[in-house]
Amino acid sequence: MAYRSQWFDDVLVVCWGTQCEEKDIAVITEMMIERHRATGQMAAMIALVSERTQVPDASVRRAFGESTARMADSFRCIINVIEGTGIGHSIKVSVVTGIQLFARQKHFYCRGSLEDTLITKQPRELRVDGAQLLERIRRSGILTPPG
């Protein structure tokens, strides 16, 4: 599996491994849509992209854009946490920004760290106790990237 995922109440945290694959994007999309169907509530997603995660190819970028559009009614925000520095980091940020523009979603964010996401620059749509969620995520073990 190229990722790990875990629900923390109504926040899905996805930790990508070295590579994102179309089949994984489809599974995550269905998780978000099914959660919305089951609860009637829109969820949030935090996607953790490590320095080791490769820049997605064109087919994966297209799948991300289609996925984001498909689950538009199922989420209140998607936050991509892209770790790292340098040219690889810049390329990943550009790819995520391009997907956002393609999907035309308003509540789509890009951050540099989980701490920024939950404590310093928490989007208002996330609506969580940032310190508490950060501690729960750290204790869960999900932060160790797969692959």
Q: Mind giving me the DSSP string for 19-50?
A: ---HHHHHHHHHHHHHHHHHHSS-EEEEEEE-
The pLDDT tens digits of the residues spanning 56-72 come to 788 887 888 788 888 88
The pLDDT tens digits of the residues spanning 12-24 come to 999 988 888 889 9
For residue 126, what are the domain limits?
3-140
State the total domains in the chain.
Answer: 1
E-state strands within 33-100: 43-49, 75-82
CATH number at residue 112: 3.30.750.24
Q: Is residue 147 part of a domain?
A: no
pLDDT of residue 51: 77
pLDDT of residue 103: 60
Q: Is residue 55 part of a domain?
A: yes
pLDDT of residue 86: 83
In terms of pTM, does the model score above 0.85?
A: yes
pLDDT of residue 118 exceeding 90, the answer is yes
